[in-house]
A and B are shown apart, each in its own frame.
Chain A
Amino acid sequence: MKKMTLSIAILVLITFAFWMINRPNNQSAGTITIQVIDVSANIVVNDHHAFNEGDSLFDILNQHYNLICANALYRPDASCDAQHWGRVILSIDDVHTDWNTTFLHLTVNGEHSHLGVDSVRIKDKDIIQFTVQKPN
């Protein structure tokens, strides 16, 4: 009985912690610019999109583009199913990367983003860039 109580208590605590981590980041609505830059430094996508409160960057991308994400083994996965550690985008429309030799570097207003498409906090008039890069 004591074990069961302890187990339930820990599971409740962990569920709450995950809810806190994954709760929507964006508290406002507005318009963002999404740019995708290919390996030759050409801007192949340059669009403006409106977003609502609670939309993540992934939600906006998923509404307007054909995405391929990485699965748990970093292989291409067109389903882009939610992963609790956040999605990694491998392809946006015709711009493809394979994670090993190239990847999509995410910047927000020209600054490297430490967070991915599920977690990054976006606000009105942000410029989001995805640039194909090769690992160092």
Chain B
Amino acid sequence: MTLRRLILLAMSVTIIFVQEQLLMFIPNVQFTTLLIVLFVSVFTFKESIVMIIVYVLLDNIYMGTLNPFYMVPMFIGWTLIPVVYHTLLKQTKNANTLAFFGLFMGFVYGWVYIPFVMIQLGMNHFWPYLLADIPFELIMATSNFLTILWLYEPLYRVVSQQMESIEKTCIPLKKNQ
């Protein structure tokens, strides 16, 4: 990994974190899924996982939720993006496919929290929790779908061009890495 690539990774975490804090007053409306999908499609799988680990740690430290009941489902939820992108989606750059994936992720991200909430509250809260979460999942799914559909391609063009130009001019930190 080159130093510039490492810096790009840090910058991408900053962008994700700052936009999420700015949009916090509207529940589940965010560009986080769009940005993670975007960065996952320009970084390698390993780099994407590193980016998500740092983002989840930073977010939970800042929000005061540094406990496994929030951090673990959050990490699993966001990690599903690079995992599915590199397997089922076969690294597609098709905005429509990614938008439908974002729509699906809006629901899956909410469901990932259910086992952890059940450990805390008990199984008798399963249906109330599942039903109460539907409006938030709908908002996140819509937000994901529309942002990816309209913004993924222009953002991908800019980011991949920048990445290419950086790759051409950079010096590796170590040989063969």
Contacts and interface: CB of A to CB of B under 8 A. Distances in A.
A85 B134 CA distance: 10
Interface residues of B, number: 20
Interface in B128-166: 128, 132, 134-136, 138, 141-142, 145-146, 149-150
Main secondary structure, interface of B, reads helix
B150 A3 contact: yes
B131 to A, nearest CB: 8
Interface size class on chain A is 10 to 19
Interface string A1-19: 0110011001100100110
A11 B142 contact: yes
A21 interface: yes
A14 B95 CA distance: 20
A7 B144 CA distance: 11
27 contacts: A2-B96, A3-B96, A3-B149, A3-B150, A6-B96, A6-B145, A6-B149, A7-B146, A7-B149, A10-B145, A10-B146, A11-B142, A14-B138, A14-B141, A17-B134, A18-B135, A18-B138, A21-B134, A21-B135, A73-B25, A84-B135, A85-B27, A85-B135, A85-B136, A114-B127, A114-B128, A114-B132
Interface of B: 25, 27, 95-96, 99, 103, 125, 127-128, 132, 134-136, 138, 141-142, 145-146, 149-150
